[in-house]
C-alpha cells in the first residue's frame, strides 16, 4: 500500500487542467446549472464529478474532473499519441435520476457515480489508457457494479450528442478529450471481447440505442 501512495506522489500533475475544464463548461452553462460532487478523501488524485442540469437538454450530464490531472500511458506506436494522453469521462442520464446532496450517500443511484470514478482511475492505477472502443468490467468475475443493476462493464464511445466544440478542451497545445461511457450487460461485454468494437457498434446501430443512459434497456443481442 505504501508503494501505491508513493507512486502518485512521484507523478507529474497537471494542476491547471481542472480550471481549464471549469472555464470550458462556463462557455456552455451557467453556474446555476452546475453542481459539483466534491471528493472528500482522495487516496491517489483528486477526482470530482460535475452534475450539469440545463433546461436546454432533455437529459442531465455527469462529467468527471480530475482524470486529466495525470497523463495516461499511451502505448508506443499509437499514431498521434499526444492526442490521447488526457481524458475525462461523461455519461448522459435521464432527468428523473437523482443523487444525494453529497457523494457517497445512501442513494440507489450512487453506483453510477462510482462507475464513473472507478473507470477514471483505472488507467492511472494500471499504467494504461482509455479511448474510444475500449471496454472495462466492474470486477474480474464480471459481477454487476451494484446490486441495483445488471450492468457488469462498459464501453467507451464517442459522443453522438455533442460535437468536438464540447468534447475537446484545448489547453497549452494539449487536448483533454471528453469520452462517453455506455454500460454493458455480461453477454454484451463478452460479445465485444470476442467480436471486436465494430461488431458491438453494429449492434448499437441496429437497435438504435441512444447515448442517454437507460437503467433497464433491452439487450443488444436479443433478436
pLDDT in tens, the chain (223 residues): 556 667 888 888 999 999 999 999 999 999 999 999 998 888 899 999 999 999 999 999 999 999 999 999 999 999 999 999 999 999 999 999 998 766 566 778 999 999 999 999 999 999 999 999 999 999 999 999 999 999 999 999 999 999 999 999 999 899 999 999 999 999 999 999 999 999 999 999 999 999 999 998 999 999 7
CA distances from 165 to 15, 72, 118, 169 (A): 22, 22, 26, 8
Instruction: Report the number of distinct structural domains present in the chain.
Output: 1
Q: Does residue 63 fall inside a structural domain? A: yes
Print burial letters for 56-77: b (CB count within 10 Å at least 16), e (below 16).
eeebbbbbbbbbbbbbbebeee
Burial degree of 35 (CB within 10 A; 0-12, 13-18, 19+): middle
Q: Does residue 144 fall inside a structural domain? A: yes
Dist. CA 82–CA 172, nearest whole Å: 12
Confidence (pLDDT) at 102: 60
CA distances from 84 to 40, 210, 221 (A): 28, 25, 31
Domain hosting residue 162, numbered range: 2-206
Confidence (pLDDT) at 104: 60
Confidence (pLDDT) at 5: 65
Can you list the positions of beta strands (E) in the chain? 34-37, 48-53, 59-65, 86-94, 135-137, 153-157, 168-171, 174-184
Confidence (pLDDT) at 108: 84
Q: Does residue 214 fall inside a structural domain? A: no
Q: Does residue 221 fall inside a structural domain? A: no
pTM: 0.94
Confidence (pLDDT) at 184: 98
Amino acid at each position: 500500500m505504501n508503494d501505491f501512495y508513493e507512486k502518485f506522489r512521484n507523478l507529474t500533475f497537471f494542476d491547471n487542467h481542472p480550471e481549464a475544464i471549469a472555464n470550458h463548461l462556463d462557455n456552455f452553462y451557467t453556474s446555476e446549472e452546475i453542481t459539483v460532487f466534491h471528493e472528500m478523501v482522495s487516496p491517489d488524485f483528486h477526482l470530482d464529478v460535475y452534475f450539469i442540469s440545463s433546461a436546454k437538454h432533455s437529459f442531465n450530464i455527469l462529467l468527471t474532473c480530475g482524470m486529466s490531472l495525470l497523463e495516461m500511458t499511451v502505448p508506443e506506436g499509437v499514431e498521434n499519441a499526444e492526442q490521447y494522453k488526457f481524458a475525462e469521462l461523461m455519461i448522459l442520464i435521464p432527468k428523473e435520476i437523482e443523487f444525494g446532496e453529497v457523494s457517497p450517500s445512501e442513494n440507489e443511484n450512487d453506483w453510477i457515480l462510482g462507475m464513473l470514478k472507478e473507470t477514471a482511475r483505472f488507467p492511472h492505477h494500471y499504467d494504461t489508457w482509455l479511448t474510444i472502443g475500449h471496454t472495462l468490467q466492474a470486477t474480474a468475475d464480471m459481477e454487476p457494479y451494484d446490486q441495483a443493476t445488471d450492468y457488469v462493464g462498459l464501453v467507451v464511445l464517442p459522443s453522438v450528442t455533442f460535437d468536438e466544440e464540447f468534447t475537446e478542451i484545448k489547453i497549452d497545445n494539449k487536448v483533454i478529450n471528453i469520452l462517453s461511457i455506455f454500460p454493458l450487460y455480461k453477454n454484451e461485454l463478452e460479445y465485444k471481447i470476442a467480436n471486436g468494437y465494430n461488431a458491438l457498434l453494429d449492434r448499437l446501430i441496429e437497435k438504435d440505442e441512444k447515448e442517454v443512459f437507460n437503467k433497464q434497456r433491452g439487450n443488444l443481442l436479443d433478436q
